[in-house]
Amino acid sequence: MPKVSTSSADEHLETPGYEGHFGEAMDMTIGFETYTADADLRDLFVGLPDDRCQAPHWGYVIEGKLVFHTAEGPEEFVAGDAYFVGPGHTPELFAGTRVVEFSPTKELQDTIEVVTRNMEAAG
């Protein structure tokens, strides 16, 4: 039976305001994420269809809050909320937030390629 934890995760990413630990189980990427600064990430998704994330996500907010901006408007999730957000969103993160998130690996990787290019272009 596959499992992933912060210590067994294959990938670790740390940037100012963000720490993530990621591993794959079956065809899903499991991410343990901590946000230490507020950030509206809309600009990082430019170039994707509708300039929005194309991966669905299932998650749980351990502490803090996050907002997903969709065509229907913003949706806020706070500590204790389990959530689902479909393709077509951008995230807004808040300092002091920790989440565990599950995403289909292929869709997530396709989105991350564009986000990475935009991060590199922004310096």
Looking at the domain assignment, is residue 89 inside a domain?
Answer: yes
The pair of three-digit structure tokens given for residue 117, joined into one six-digit string: 């290019």
Looking at the domain assignment, is residue 113 inside a domain?
Answer: yes
Which domain CATH number covers 84?
2.60.120.10
User: Backbone phi, then psi, for 121, in 5-degree steps?
Assistant: -65, -35
List residues bridging with 118 in a β-sheet: none
Domain that holds residue 37: 11-122
> CA-CA distance, 98 to 109, in Å (whole number)?
21
Contact 46, 18 (CB under 8 A): no
Supply the pLDDT for residue 117.
95
User: What pLDDT band is residue 2 in, cutting at 50, 70 and 90?
Assistant: confident
Looking at the domain assignment, is residue 1 inside a domain?
Answer: no
Looking at the domain assignment, is residue 3 inside a domain?
Answer: no
Looking at the domain assignment, is residue 5 inside a domain?
Answer: no
Looking at the domain assignment, is residue 6 inside a domain?
Answer: no
Mean pLDDT of 99-103: 98
Mean pLDDT of 11-16: 90
User: For the chain, how many structural domains are there in total?
Assistant: 1
Q: Is it the case that residue 1 has pLDDT exceeding 70?
A: no
User: Backbone phi, then psi, for 43, in 5-degree steps?
Assistant: -60, -25
- pLDDT tens digit sequence for 47-96: 999 999 999 999 999 999 999 999 999 999 999 999 999 999 999 999 99
- pLDDT tens digit sequence for 25-38: 999 999 999 999 99
> CA-CA distance, 116 to 77, in Å (whole number)?
25
Cα–Cα distances in angstroms (integers) from residue 21 to residues 6, 15, 29, 73, 74, in the given order: 6, 12, 10, 29, 26
Q: Is it the case that residue 104 has pLDDT exceeding 80?
A: yes
